[in-house]
Amino acid sequence: MFALVLHSHLPWLANHGRWPVGEEWLYQSWADSYLPLTDMLTSLAEEGRTNLLSLGITPVLAAQLDDPHCLSGMHHWLANWQLRAHEAADRELSIREHRSAAAALELFEKRWRHGGSPVLRPLVDSGAVELLGGPLAHPFQPLLDPRLREFSLSQGLSDAHLRWGTRPRGIWAPECAYDPGMEIGYADAGITHFMVDGPALRGDTSLGRTVRDSDVVAFGRDLDVSYRVWSPKSGYPGHAAYRDFHTYDHATGLKDKRVTGRTVDSADKAPYDPAAASAAIDKHVADFVATVRSRLRSESARIGRPALVVAAFDTELFGHWWFEGPVWLERVLRALPEAGIDVGTLENARSRGYVGSPVELEKSSWGSGKDWRVWNGDAVSDLVALNAEVVTTAIDTVHASRNGNPEPELRNRVNDQILRETLNSIASDWAFMVSKDSAAGYARQRAHVHAHALREIADAATGGRAELATELADRWNRADGLFPSLDARRLRTDRPFGGER
């Protein structure tokens, strides 16, 4: 059996800058990836196709796809795309981009104006996709106080239920990060399966594995197959015929060149040719199907029973980073069954018994070195310290507000906002961006802005200035009002840092 898993995630970008990093990142990914992907899946679902793939959508991305500010901004962005197409000097580029922008604008106005939830829910209800959830705001869970880890995960799953009417039983853990004992928290939250990277299972990803003494199953990414599409050094998107991500028409910001060659300067790249790109897509679809078939046969022969192959990618690869990705994906989803390959979801794999013997899973992630260095290495020691400070401040402040009262408390909007700012401050994205030197200044600034908001609100709250704390929480909420159902009363503050139970 073959299972495709997509992980859709962006940090909270609304009201935090526009260009070069900020809301523009969201709108580009929305237009290039989320619009065509959901449109393609909807078309396949209308044909009666089910169990196409496992689709992870993080709560923080889902919040932006439903947010009125983001929806309005996206509508304006699509209209601006159409205007930029009119301004292109090259006639072929202008026509091609105008058609794409007009189609995207029509699709957005037809299906997306009330948010992403009404678009995604039919795909889940029809069984076209398995929905994978995750914790609020995408924290690096192994480094997180278990009390906030538990809160973030349970609230993230509840957020999914609120938006889509289903509570996910599978998750894509942020950064595929794992620490022994986390499987207990997963089981307590109702999670039956989660993703890890292939090396976490010592490269043997032919079956899911129950973790330690639990019934929770870890599925590993098959790197031989996944890296065929995309790896740190190679993959289909680098083919000469595909549209080049890095080269722009400077007057309009439109991308008008093809890759041409890895060592070719931008000024020397050839014009984009859609026909040549389409032919390359067909070639790479055939190669991928052959790779999957070969891998299934060799792994089944090796283990002496039908094997599982899991290919897993960031959703944003398909469209945003690799322009032709959505078309390739649709052709693959059609070609695999035509080649006699059984396609399903992670839940299908678990329920149908593609599960082997228990594994003593160790610390891991899908970052550099497959360990935690990206998120706790020397390059981000300042952010590690900041994260520890803000988490302690948040938990202590919420705990103090309860004043030892065992009776149920009323909803506390100040505490709610304290936790919103805390979760935004400790998002795994900031350490990743710093370690990879990708907009590191923006990442550090974001972590510190949310930490400042937390400190400001907490200082007023613990200093007995309740009216000021409420005013500050309301002000910060105007920028960071994600997760309106977040309820700080569900955070346990009376358990010491350490074990899961």
**HSE-CB for 495 with a 13 A CA cutoff:** 13
497, pLDDT greater than 70: no
Domain boundaries, the chain: 2-134+172-233+305-368, 377-490
> Following CA atoms 39, 44, 45, 47 in sequence, which dihedral angle do they give, to the nearest 10 degrees?
130
500, pLDDT greater than 50: no
pLDDT at 231: 85
pLDDT tens sequence across 11-69: 999 999 999 899 999 999 999 999 999 999 999 999 999 999 999 999 999 999 999 99
**HSE-CB for 56 with a 13 A CA cutoff:** 29
* Residue, of 75 and 494, whose pLDDT is higher: 75
What are the φ/ψ torsions at residue 474 (nearest 5 degrees)? -65, -40
100, pLDDT greater than 60: yes
User: What would the two tokens of residue 432 be?
Assistant: 């990743």
User: What would the two tokens of residue 465 be?
Assistant: 């200035």
Beta strand pairing call for 217-220 and 208-211 = antiparallel
User: What would the two tokens of residue 80 be?
Assistant: 């601006």
CA-wise closest residue to 382 among 339, 430, 320: 430
User: What would the two tokens of residue 175 be?
Assistant: 């950064």
User: What would the two tokens of residue 79 be?
Assistant: 């209209």
pLDDT at 410: 87
pLDDT at 25: 97
Residue 247: which pLDDT band, with cuts at 50, 70 and 90?
very high
Does the annotation mark 175 as catalytic?
A: yes
Which residues are CB-neighbours of 149 under 8 A, at least 6 positions away? 135, 139, 141, 182, 185
- Rounded mean pLDDT of 393-412? 85
pLDDT at 199: 96
pLDDT tens sequence across 365-379: 999 999 999 999 999
Collapse the DSSP code of 447 into the 3-class scheme (helix H, G, I; strand E, B; otherwise coil) and give the result: helix
| pLDDT-above-70 percentage for the chain | 98
Catalytic site residue from 204, 314, 382, 389: 314
Cis, bond preceding 20 (omega within 30 deg of 0)? yes
Which residues are CB-neighbours of 204 under 8 A, at least 6 positions away? 220
Spell out the alpha helix ranges (H) of 108-145.
117-125
Catalytic site residue from 67, 145, 159, 175: 175
User: Using CA atoms, how far apart are residues 394 and 426, in angstroms rounded to an integer?
Assistant: 12
User: What would the two tokens of residue 276 be?
Assistant: 């040549």
User: What would the two tokens of residue 422 be?
Assistant: 């805390």
342, pLDDT greater than 90: yes
Q: Which fold has domain 2-134+172-233+305-368?
A: 7-stranded beta/alpha barrel (3.20.110)
CA-wise closest residue to 249 among 90, 96, 103: 90
Which residues are CB-neighbours of 269 under 8 A, at least 6 positions away? 244, 247, 257, 258, 259, 260
CATH of domain 377-490: 1.20.1430.10
pTM of the model: 0.96
Q: Is the dihedral of CA 434, 440, 446, 447 positive or negative?
A: positive
pLDDT at 499: 41
User: What would the two tokens of residue 60 be?
Assistant: 């923080």
Q: Is the dihedral of CA 326, 18, 256, 233 positive or negative?
A: negative
User: Using CA atoms, how far apart are residues 236 and 123, in angstroms rounded to an integer?
Assistant: 28
| pLDDT-above-90 percentage for the chain | 95
For 216-219, the CB contacts below 8 A with 24+ separation are 216/183, 216/186, 216/187, 216/191, 216/192, 217/192, 217/193, 217/350, 217/355, 218/178, 218/183, 218/193, 218/194, 218/359, 218/361, 219/3, 219/5, 219/193, 219/194, 219/195, 219/308, 219/310, 219/346, 219/349
- Rounded mean pLDDT of 345-370? 97
Amino acid in position 275: A
Q: Could you give the C-alpha distances from 424 to 154, 320, 405, 498, in angstroms and in order?
A: 17, 24, 29, 23
User: Using CA atoms, how far apart are residues 60 and 429, in angstroms rounded to an integer?
Assistant: 12
- Rounded mean pLDDT of 472-479? 96
**Residue in the block written with tokens 């106005």:** 109
> b or e along 112-134 (b: 16 or more beta carbons within 10 Å of the residue's beta carbon)?
beebbeebbebbbebebbbbbbb
Largest distance between two CA atoms of the chain: 71
**Residue in the block written with tokens 């859609």:** 274
- From first CA to last CA, the distance across the chain in angstroms is 36
User: What would the two tokens of residue 294 be?
Assistant: 């070969």
Work out the angle between the directed axes of helices 117-125 and 59-66 (0-180°, nearest 10).
120
pLDDT at 406: 59
Which residues are CB-neighbours of 73 under 8 A, at least 6 positions away? 14, 23, 26, 27
Residue 408: which pLDDT band, with cuts at 50, 70 and 90?
low
